[in-house]
Amino acid sequence: MKIIKMQDTYISKIKQINKNGKYAVLTMGCQLNENDSEKISGMLEESGYTKTDDLAKANVIVFNTCCVRENAEDRLFGKLGEVKKYKENNGTIIVIGGCMMQEKHIVNKLKQSYPFVDIVFGPHTMQDFPKDLYNSIVENKKIEDILDIEGNIIEGMPIVRDDSIKASVAIMNGCNNFCTYCIVPYVRGRERSRNPQDIYNEVLDLAKNGYKEITLLGQNVNSYLVSERKQNENLNLTVKKENGEEVEVNSFAKLLRLINTIDGIERIRFISPHPKDFTDDVIDSIRDCDKVCNLIHLPLQSGSTNVLKAMNRKYTKEQYLNLVEKIKAKIPNIQFSTDIIVGFPGETEEDFEDTLDVIKKVGYEQIFMFIYSRRVGTVADKMENQIDEKVKHERFNRLKSLAEKIIEEGNKKYVGTVQKVLVEGKSKTNDKIYTGRTETNKVVNFEGKDDLVGKVIPLKIASEHMWYLKGEYEN
Ligand code: SF4
């Protein structure tokens, strides 16, 4: 794999001084963060380090942080207290990267209370990590490598994947939406899309290496190339395919169609789209592309038009429900998953009831629920009508009960049907049981055999349980 030039220089320098070093990367965040962690692992392995799960044995410990939720901060500071002893006893190099490092108050807190941290870097300087690591080793000094402006998208970084069947591929970075509760646009910067040729090449490479499922990642995937199109309305990027055919790609809808043609890839997922940008061409692509899964993650956040306005989500309850209906009408058997925030400032009982109402109407397959947490630097943090913690928890529990009821009810429709399941491996708790996922991301457990791993197989669903389905495999 081609390694970008400056990285190459420092990776070679580290290799010369590294004596069988070990590393650990701890990820605290979303799938984009996990994808970044795979690149951090890639840089370390190219530099001659091998992975360990035992922090006491690691020469380098990297925390890849996320600033979206408050408990990620608590987790980081808690874990730092734990690794301090490794620094003192073994001289372990302690590194913190990720978007939390774009927050000045966090970096100041680190300097004051955790002076043993050796390197901090932000998402815009991740590609310089080998240089920072080398300088930290040879000069034994503290390094702060953070840029306030967004960096370019860097191609050709080494990557060590955590999985051999499913892989994530970032297609863009940053966000232009400024939802009032969200810190992402401030720390990840404005939207920048990768060139479709680079995405095509990466997925092609994954397919050749046996990967079956690809998840396309971005903060707002259906704005792929939208900013670039605004700057150049004639934008039409040409992708040269492996068979020599040239295809023009200028939107997310066309990217889906392109990725769908790659042999070997059997499933395509994407997260997250924004409801306000869910255009008809994307719906048509999902309908037409056989590999794009029949599950759309469509973040609702709140079912109340008033709260959605305060969140700056730019859609109403009715528009969201109309979009769901439009998608359902065009794509038979389509299912949805979603994100909900409970207790946003100003949320009344009536607003909360609106959220419950949307959940009942849509009937989601999965619901990711969060209690609103204040993030320094966001508009919502300055709102005066913050909700009492007790009320937030009480609503969260009601939401959870309803969500579980709806999911359990929804699971019943699978019993007696035959589902295509991508087999991911053996169950962690039972040697005879294998586990996989349906197109709609439901876990299916069944008695199988090793040679099914990595294959999409038909399984008859015998029974349903809250968090999984039980399948039967016929030889
Ligand atoms: S769409 Fe909203 S919630 Fe999602 S990353 Fe952008 S600002 Fe944050």
Whether ligand 1 lies within 6 angstroms of the CB of 178 is answered as yes
Q: What is the pLDDT of residues 263-322, one digit of tens each?
A: 999 999 999 999 999 999 999 999 999 999 999 999 999 999 999 999 999 999 999 999
Q: Is 308 domain-assigned?
A: no
Q: Is 301 domain-assigned?
A: no
Whether ligand 1 lies within 6 angstroms of the CB of 217 is answered as no
Confidence label for 390 from pLDDT (cuts 50, 70 and 90): very high
Residue 411 Cα to ligand 1 middle (Å): 30
Which CATH number does the domain housing residue 177 bear? 3.30.750.210
Which CATH number does the domain housing residue 126 bear? 3.40.50.12160
Whether ligand 1 lies within 6 angstroms of the CB of 195 is answered as no
Same domain? For 437 and 394 the reply is: no
Same domain? For 328 and 399 the reply is: yes
Q: Is 194 domain-assigned?
A: yes
Q: What is the pLDDT of residue 234?
A: 84
- Both tokens of 67, joined, read 């600033």
Average pLDDT, the chain: 94
Q: Is 314 domain-assigned?
A: no
Q: Which atom of ligand 1 lies nearest, measured to the CA of 219? A: 5
Same domain? For 22 and 141 the reply is: yes
Among candidate residues 273, 293, 313, the one where a domain is terminated = 293
Q: Is 109 domain-assigned?
A: yes
Q: Is 305 domain-assigned?
A: no
Among candidate residues 112, 145, 178, the one where a domain is terminated = 145
Same domain? For 376 and 445 the reply is: no
Same domain? For 169 and 98 the reply is: no
Same domain? For 402 and 429 the reply is: no
- Is the pTM higher than 0.85? The answer reads yes
Q: Which domain holds residue 185?
A: 163-293
Task: State residue 78 phi and psi, 5-degree precision.
Answer: -60, -45
Q: What is the pLDDT of residues 43-76, one digit of tens each?
A: 999 999 999 999 999 999 999 998 877 778 888 9
Q: What is the pLDDT of residue 2?
A: 45
Percent of the chain, pLDDT > 90?
Answer: 82
- Residue 220 CA to residue 272 CA, distance in Å, equals 6
Q: What is the pLDDT of residue 397?
A: 98
- Both tokens of 304, joined, read 């109340």
The residue contributing the CA closest to ligand 1 atom 2 is 179
Which CATH number does the domain housing residue 332 bear? 3.30.750.200
- Residue 271 CA to residue 32 CA, distance in Å, equals 10
Q: Is 151 domain-assigned?
A: no
Among candidate residues 357, 385, 410, the one where a domain is terminated = 410
Provide CB contacts within 8 A for 472, sequence distance 6+: 446, 459, 460, 461, 462
Q: What is the pLDDT of residue 430?
A: 87
Same domain? For 234 and 204 the reply is: yes
Provide CB contacts within 8 A for 124, sequence distance 6+: 102, 146, 147, 149, 150, 151, 189
Which CATH number does the domain housing residue 445 bear? 2.40.50.140
Number of structural domains the chain divides into:
4
Whether ligand 1 lies within 6 angstroms of the CB of 177 is answered as yes
Mode of pairing for the β-strands spanning 267-271 and 213-217: parallel
Same domain? For 399 and 436 the reply is: no
Residue 362 Cα to ligand 1 middle (Å): 22
How far, rounded to the nearest angstrom, does the alpha carbon of residue 416 sit from its chain's CA centroid? 33
- Residue 422 CA to residue 441 CA, distance in Å, equals 10
The residue contributing the CA closest to ligand 1 atom 1 is 177
User: What beta strand segments (E) does 298-417 contain?
Assistant: 335-342, 366-371
Same domain? For 345 and 439 the reply is: no
Q: Is 315 domain-assigned?
A: no
Same domain? For 402 and 421 the reply is: no
Cα angle 205, 209, 215 (rounded to 5 degrees) comes to 65
Same domain? For 194 and 279 the reply is: yes
Same domain? For 230 and 286 the reply is: yes
